[in-house]
Structure 1
Amino acid sequence: MGGADSTDHSGGHRAYIGSFTSGGGRGITTAAVDPETGELTPLAETGTLLADPSYLAVDRDTGALYAVSETEEGAVAAFTPTAEGLAPLGAPVRVGGSGPTHLSLAGRRLLTANYTSGSVSSLPLAADGRPTGPGAVLVHRGSGTDADRQERPHAHQVLPDPSGRWVLSVDLGTDSVRVCALDPDTGEPRVHAETALRAGTGPRHLVFHPDGTVVYVLHELVPQLTVCRWNPGAGRLEPVGEVPIAPEGPSGAVRAYPSAVVASPDGRFVWAAIRGADAIATLSLADGAEKPRLTGSAGCGGSWPRDLAVDPSGRRLYAANEHSGDVTWFDVDPLTGHPRTAGSVAVPAATCVVFG
């Protein structure tokens, strides 16, 4: 698997796009990426091979692609890139939780955030990279102030910090971020600390600043970021400020549901996708990593942007617009960070974009 090829026939690299098969999606779409224009050209689809592969992750060392199956049963699957697209690497494996919405790699473990069951799972990886079971499961506890959305825990994202020492899980239902350590023998996530955020805000995703000392937590129930200091030595997350990512609208305006947050590789900008408003917010970090400033908002090119991705060069953004069924890409102004629509490709029920 170390020789997996993620280079397409035109000399560019590949993008992988997740979707909801239950909403008409075609599974995981493999697309060629034009290195000059950023244009996506679909090459292959997995179809119904895996149900609802809504979030994806790539192993940078091996090229393997991992996907959740966001179903009640909850599963993950691995794929190997081929000249034709993707080949399954073993059968899907149950994660021990329901409705997994996010996954990431932490050493030789595959982590999932299970929204419906409010838990985090940690599965071992075999020598060839395929996930195996049973996994170790950490069940979150608590609730929030929004009776409709926070009646119980809803883990939405889980990822390791840049040091590799800690794992952070973002819980929309409990308005908090848990810092965990993985047991070196069992891989079980164990809570080291829990950071409370403002009640009723519904944290969904976070991203680290490239310097590894600042974290931006995006909230789904209120259009804002919480800026936090990150101490990797102590494993502590400290909120230091809140920043709106959308202007306050008139009474009766469409409600905003932020979905994804990314940072530019050079550490100069942060972008957030906002469903409802169907927008991408640009925040400048010119005043410092702890002081993001909203400088503009642009249309997402479609409807209901569930995910936002920045390409490895930082020159382009890609929005997976679930309801309009497309992925739109944007050229980023190198001075302002503002995105300008550059193209779009139809991908029914698109949910996620990652690069191989």
Structure 2
Amino acid sequence: MGDKGTGQAFIGSFTSAGGRGIMVAAVDPVTGALTETGVVDSVADPSYLAVGHTEAGPVLYAVSETAQGAVAAYDIAGPVPRPICAPVAVRGEAPTHLAVAHGHLLTANYDSGSVTVLPLAADGTPQTPSHVLRHEGGGPHPARQLGPHAHQVLPDPSGRWVLSVDLGTDSVRICSLGAQAGKLTLHGETALPPGTGPRHLAFHPAGGHAYVLGELEPTLTVCRWDATAGVLDPVRATSLFPDGTDAAVSPSAPVVSHDGRHLWAAVRGPDTIAVLALDAVGERADLVASVPCGGRWPRDLVLHPSGTRLYAANERSGDVTWLDVDSTTGIPHRAGSLSAPAASNVVFV
């Protein structure tokens, strides 16, 4: 996959806004620089990507963030991703996120406020949905919280639970996934302050804490996570703008360092990356810096598997910027960028 030693990156985009589909890029092993090597345009708006693994090798999955809502799967053994099946409908509208868990593909469907479970065949091909879990509720925001809006779904580090983050209901749902039946069972729901608009969460590498990023209220909420009981307990919230701001602020993606010392959050509007220092156990997050993301409207922020670089998918400037991270301070510094119209997400293989 790609030149030996470089690795590959896959970049999702919004084709409805000028994106070209899924871009493939080689990753320089020394500098982290991205070089485009190909593109595949087989589904509309492949805005979020995930990689699953089979005995035959890795499989790339993409949402199609459209009113019809679908997922696509690709063989990535060659230079350009090859579709391995026709897109599969998720029975939900505008899927914004997906993840692989226990032999299933899960999608968070924003417009319909639901989570879909699709069984995966042995070769990684997604099957017809086995279950759709519909969220209920709303929030105080007059336009954004008239109903549920599932924005992220992911397994917890222990593999026992599936969490779904809902911007519309100001909450995180904890579910168990019956691998044989392919069905989600609601176990509990954690409420966040009204109007927070939680978008995404990230776990501490030790597994005992999770960090929920608000999109409507620019805060990071530190939560204790009990994987045995399946309980998410908010502890404290940190403002990403402690002195206030008059700008339109829309945080998008939290990322935790491999050593658990730092957390970064992409912030659209001011187009920055907030840098937060975590304490020794991960229960306190303090804002220490805010730096330019290198583009406009960073929809996603990803840490390279090496842990030494961040990649920001800047939707409105149409590029992916990579930033070298100071291992001591955690502060990132722009190192380069690749043109990628309407970029929305980056994954690495």
Aligned to 2:113: 118
| Alignment pair present for 1:232 and 2:227 | yes
Aligned to 1:19: 13
Aligned to 1:151: 146
- Percent identical pairs in the alignment equals 59
Deviation at 1:90, TM superposition (A): 0.8
Aligned to 1:260: 253
Pairing of 1:203-242 with structure 2 (within 5 A)? 203-242=198-237
Aligned to 2:33: 39
Deviation at 1:165, TM superposition (A): 0.8
| Alignment pair present for 1:322 and 2:287 | no
Matched to 2:187, the amino acid is H
Aligned to 2:176: 181
Q: Do the aligned residues in 2 keep the contact of 1:95 with 1:135 (CA within 8 Å)?
A: no
Matched to 2:294, the amino acid is G
Deviation at 1:167, TM superposition (A): 0.2
Q: 2:292 aligns with which of 292, 299, 315?
A: 299
* Structure 2 CA distance for aligned equivalents of residues 341 and 143 of structure 1: 39
Q: 2:45 aligns with which of 19, 40, 52?
A: 52
Matched to 1:258, the amino acid is P
* Structure 2 CA distance for aligned equivalents of residues 237 and 283 of structure 1: 21
Deviation at 1:315, TM superposition (A): 0.3
Deviates more, 1:180-189 or 1:71-80: 180-189
Deviation at 1:287, TM superposition (A): 5.1
| Secondary structure at 1:179 match in 2 | strand
| Secondary structure at 2:193 match in 1 | coil
| Secondary structure at 1:59 match in 2 | strand
Q: 1:270 aligns with which of 251, 257, 263?
A: 263
Residues 182-236 of structure 1: CA deviation (Å, up to 9, x unaligned): 1243211111000000000100000000001100000000111111000000000
Pairing of 1:316-355 with structure 2 (within 5 A)? 316-355=309-348
* Structure 2 CA distance for aligned equivalents of residues 96 and 168 of structure 1: 19
| Alignment pair present for 1:100 and 2:98 | no
Deviation at 1:237, TM superposition (A): 0.4
* Structure 1 CA distance for aligned equivalents of residues 340 and 222 of structure 2: 33
Q: Do the aligned residues in 2 keep the contact of 1:246 with 1:281 (CA within 8 Å)?
A: no
* Structure 2 CA distance for aligned equivalents of residues 130 and 94 of structure 1: 13
Deviates more, 1:125-134 or 1:166-175: 125-134
* Structure 2 CA distance for aligned equivalents of residues 280 and 324 of structure 1: 16
> Normalising to structure 2: TM-score of the pair?
0.97
* Structure 2 CA distance for aligned equivalents of residues 288 and 232 of structure 1: 16
Deviation at 1:60, TM superposition (A): 4.6
Deviation at 1:308, TM superposition (A): 0.1
Aligned to 1:196: 191
Matched to 1:297, the amino acid is S
Aligned to 1:3: none
Q: Do the aligned residues in 2 keep the contact of 1:225 with 1:244 (CA within 8 Å)?
A: yes
Instruction: For structure 1, list consecutive stretches of 5 or more residues without a partner in the other structure.
Output: 1-6
* Structure 2 CA distance for aligned equivalents of residues 159 and 248 of structure 1: 33
Q: Do the aligned residues in 2 keep the contact of 1:225 with 1:245 (CA within 8 Å)?
A: yes
* Structure 1 CA distance for aligned equivalents of residues 73 and 4 of structure 2: 25
Matched to 1:93, the amino acid is V
Aligned to 2:301: 308
| Alignment pair present for 1:281 and 2:281 | no
Q: 2:81 aligns with which of 82, 86, 89?
A: 86
> Normalising to structure 1: TM-score of the pair?
0.96
* Structure 2 CA distance for aligned equivalents of residues 294 and 210 of structure 1: 19
| Secondary structure at 2:121 match in 1 | coil
| Secondary structure at 2:16 match in 1 | helix
Deviation at 1:10, TM superposition (A): 4.7
* Structure 2 CA distance for aligned equivalents of residues 262 and 138 of structure 1: 27
Residues 292-342 of structure 1: CA deviation (Å, up to 9, x unaligned): 111101101110000000001110000000000000000000100000000
Q: Do the aligned residues in 1 keep the contact of 2:309 with 2:325 (CA within 8 Å)?
A: yes
Q: CA RMSD in A?
A: 1.1
Matched to 1:90, the amino acid is C
Q: Do the aligned residues in 2 keep the contact of 1:151 with 1:173 (CA within 8 Å)?
A: yes
Q: Do the aligned residues in 2 keep the contact of 1:124 with 1:133 (CA within 8 Å)?
A: yes
Q: Across the two proteins, how many residue pairs are aligned to each other?
A: 347
Residues 16-53 of structure 1: CA deviation (Å, up to 9, x unaligned): 10000000001001100001000000111112x11100
Deviates more, 1:55-64 or 1:187-196: 55-64
* Structure 2 CA distance for aligned equivalents of residues 10 and 237 of structure 1: 42
Deviates more, 1:127-136 or 1:181-190: 181-190
Q: 2:2 aligns with which of 3, 8, 17?
A: 8
Residues 42-67 of structure 1: CA deviation (Å, up to 9, x unaligned): 111112x1110000001255311100
Q: 1:166 aligns with which of 161, 169, 186?
A: 161
